[in-house]
Structure 1
Amino acid sequence: MVQVVDATELPAPTEADGAVGSRGYRIGPFDRLVVDVFGFEALKAREIQVDAAGDIALPIAGTVKVGGRTPSEATALIAQQMRAGYVRDPKVSVNLTESVSQYVTIDGQVGLPGNYPMVGDMTLIRSIASARGANEFAKLNDVVLFRTVNGQKMVALYNLAAIRRGDYPDPQVYARDVIVVGDSPARRLLRDIIQGAALITTPIVALIQNSNN
């Protein structure tokens, strides 16, 4: 059962919902990184996995707490700890190679369904593009976005064509969101609200209520 709410977009999730920060990718436990320090053979394209506490161990820098930081923040922290180890002006780069903790799930009529890491400022259209875009015959007026906010499951129905026309903004996407493109059982949750409309020109946002309530 769904209940429409008076909103034009889904609210942002909280840290309790598994999101870290409002935008951008935050490194989490068991993510895999490549750390590169120019001029240091031991730290040349070094692949390393973040441990359960959010730490990595590197020569000279020692234990570095990267969990909860963006890759750029981790870069700055590693450089700072290397300077403390008497390395002058270290040139550090940190890149994500595999995300375990912060991802968005994209399913339905897209080129490559799956889980995709949250990197940078993600929106609905950018997220779908990362999954190789919508298929040739995908129903662009049928894009469902699921999100948990303060423990409450919510759903929104979007029209990609309307977003591209500028009818309303491209919505922000957060870690743990689930996007389903095209005709799917997900859309049937909203069938009573949509009333068979073939095209929506404004987002529809609703709460998903437990049928036992």
Structure 2
Amino acid sequence: MPNRSFVSLFSLALCACGGGIGLDQNSTAVRVAQALPPPDQTVTAADFTNYRIGALDVISVTVFDAPELAREGAVDEAGNFAMPLVGSVQAGGKTPQELGDAIATKLKGRYLKNPQVAVNIKEARARTVTIDGSVVQPGVYPIVGKMTLQQAVATARGANESADIDKVIVFRTVSGQKMAAMFNLRDIRSGRYADPEVYGNDIVVVGENSARRFFRDATMSFPLLARFVPVL
């Protein structure tokens, strides 16, 4: 079942898109745009305090008083990071502090008496997209390389039987402002419009055809009798 907060947000954006209305940019609501620019790319060091390292992120590891153990490179697709002496260390899912502590634990005693390890994020490549609404398998999915809107929906095993693929809304934060734009997936599939790129932290919500949903729910709930029954 779609997340209710996403459904409410979808309804708000859908009304605005359909009516050609621009929402107040000074409000906390979503700003509706005809097209979405790329999201914010600048990430400050403070943003990485609670950041969870992911596959393909580029990190640097510094061991104080042991410069020969310094290492910089990408986390592999399994979430592992190779370090001198201690070998492969699970980095995926850990904060920089947690990874530093894990490496220090492996070094302590056997190699160094009291190792101090610092981990810094050099490049955050681990990205996810949330796909919700009328899709077969809603969820949060990783983005590896570039992903288009069609590919994003396909990742969630496609639109379900009650979907309205003419109304697919993408939510994105641009310059600190939450924005939304609606796309017609049917026209994109036919080549009438370009297939837009989906970025990390985007939320994609596929609309629902209310008539199809009613028919689906009705066929599931009505008794299997060869006669009409009241619906109210």
TM-score, scaled relative to structure 2: 0.49
Unpaired runs of at least 5, structure 1: 20-27, 72-98, 185-213
Cα separation, 2, equivalents of 1:181 and 1:168 = 17
Corresponding letter in the other structure for 2:165: L
Cα separation, 2, equivalents of 1:174 and 1:54 = 27
Unpaired runs of at least 5, structure 2: 1-15, 24-30, 45-49, 56-78, 108-115, 210-232
TM-score, scaled relative to structure 1: 0.52
Cα separation, 2, equivalents of 1:151 and 1:15 = 11
Contact 1:146 1:156 in 2 (8 A): yes
What SS does structure 2 have at the residue aligned with 1:140? strand
What SS does structure 1 have at the residue aligned with 2:205? strand
Q: Which has the higher contact order (CA 8 A, sep 6+)?
A: 1
Cα separation, 1, equivalents of 2:142 and 2:120 = 17
Structure 1: which 4+ aligned runs deviate by more than 6 Å?
none
State yes or no: 1:30 paired with 2:52: yes
Aligned to 1:92: none
Pairing of 1:160-179 with structure 2 (within 5 A): 160-179=185-204
Matching residue within 27, 40, 50 for 1:14: 40
Identity of aligned residues (%): 37
Matching residue within 144, 150, 162 for 1:125: 150
Report the Cα offset of residue 41 of structure 1: 11
Matching residue within 182, 191, 211 for 1:157: 182
Aligned to 1:67: 121
CA deviation digits over 1:171-209, x for unaligned, max 9? Answer: 11112211110228xxxxxxxxxxxxxxxxxxxxxxxxx
Q: 1:66 to 1:113 in 2, by over 3 A?
A: farther
Say how many residue pairs are matched. 145
Higher-Rg member (1/2): 2
What SS does structure 1 have at the residue aligned with 2:208? coil
Aligned to 2:90: 47
Cα separation, 2, equivalents of 1:53 and 1:158 = 41
Contact 1:29 1:67 in 2 (8 A): no
